[in-house]
Chains A and B, each alone.
Chain A
Amino acid sequence: MIIAEQKPIQEIKSMIAGYQKVLVVGCGTCVTVCMAGGEKEVGIIASTLRMALKLDGKEPEVIEDCIRRQCEWEFVDELKEKIEGVDAVLSTACGVGVQALAERFGDKPVYPALNTTSMGMPKEHGFWIETCRGCGDCGLGKFGGVCPIARCSKGLLNGPCGGSQDGKCEVDKEMDCGWQLIYERLNSLGQLDQIEDIVQPKDWSTDRDKGQRRIIREDVKV
Chain B
Amino acid sequence: MAEFEPKLIAFCCSNCATSAANVCEAIGLSTPGNVDVVRIPCTGRVDILHLLKAFEIGADGAYVAGCSDGNCQFRDGNIKAKRRVARAKKLLDEVGVGGDRLEMYNMSASMGPEFAKMARKMTERIRELGPSPLRKK
Contact = CB atoms under 8 A, between A and B. Distances in A.
Interface of A: 8-10, 40, 43-44, 47-48, 50-52, 54-55, 57
A50 B49 contact: no
B25 interface: no
B49 A51 contact: no
Interface of B: 47-49, 52-53, 55-56, 91, 94-97, 133-134, 137
Contacts of A9: 91, 94-95
B15 to A, nearest CB: 23
Given A9-B91, A44-B91, A47-B56, A52 B48 contact: no
B52 A48 contact: yes
Contact residues of B: prevailing secondary structure: helix
A51 B88 CA distance: 13
A67 to B, nearest CB: 19
Given A9-B91, A52-B96, A55-B95, A47 B134 contact: no
A48 B94 CA distance: 9
B94 A57 contact: no
Nearest to B132: A51
Contacts of A54: 134, 137
A57 B137 contact: yes
A60 B94 CA distance: 19
Contacts of B137: 54-55, 57
B48 A51 contact: no
B55 to A, nearest CB: 7
Counting from the closest, the 10 A-B pairs by CB-CB distance are A47-B52, A52-B95, A55-B96, A43-B49, A51-B95, A9-B94, A48-B95, A44-B49, A47-B56, A54-B137
Contacts of A52: 94-96
A8 B93 CA distance: 12
A34 to B, nearest CB: 15
A10 B94 contact: yes
B92 to A, nearest CB: 8
Nearest to B87: A44
Contacts of B133: 55
A52 B94 CA distance: 8
A48 B49 CA distance: 9
Given A54-B134, A55-B97, A48 B91 contact: yes
Contacts of A51: 52, 55-56, 95-97, 134
A43 B134 CA distance: 18
A52 B96 CA distance: 7
Given A40-B47, A50-B56, A51-B56, 12 more contacts: A9-B94, A9-B95, A44-B48, A44-B49, A48-B52, A51-B52, A51-B96, A52-B94, A54-B137, A55-B95, A55-B133, A57-B137
